Amino acid sequence: MSDTIFSKIINREIDADIVHEDDQCLAFRDVNPQAPMHILVIPKKPIDMLANAEDGDQALLGHLMLTARRIAADEGYGDAFRLVMNNGEAVGQSVFHLHLHVLGGRDFAWPPG
């Protein structure tokens, strides 16, 4: 996988407003927020998109989801938040490093998009 803006954030080559870090992932505020809370949770392991994750990534993917839950709670939105993961350019993925959008603090329409 080529260098992405997210790998540069992980490597501290680009600044970000980091809200969480552990040995498996990093979470930071989106620079173009679409809701009062818009945080990105990214694995430190380079996976370009969910379609290319492997069976061995199951625990990591679960860790990302549980980390998103904790962050939403810490931000005051634990009872109402949305998780979004785009998979591919056709559905809006613009950075090819797997990431979860954690959104909260406003009403969301259904279906999304």
Q: Which residues are tagged catalytic?
A: 99
Structure tokens given for 78: 């634990």
Q: Omega into 112 within 30° of 0, i.e. cis?
A: no
β-pairing verdict for 18-21 and 25-29:
antiparallel
β-pairing verdict for 25-29 and 37-43:
antiparallel
Report which of 104, 102, 108 is spatially closest to residue 28, judged by C-alpha positions.
102
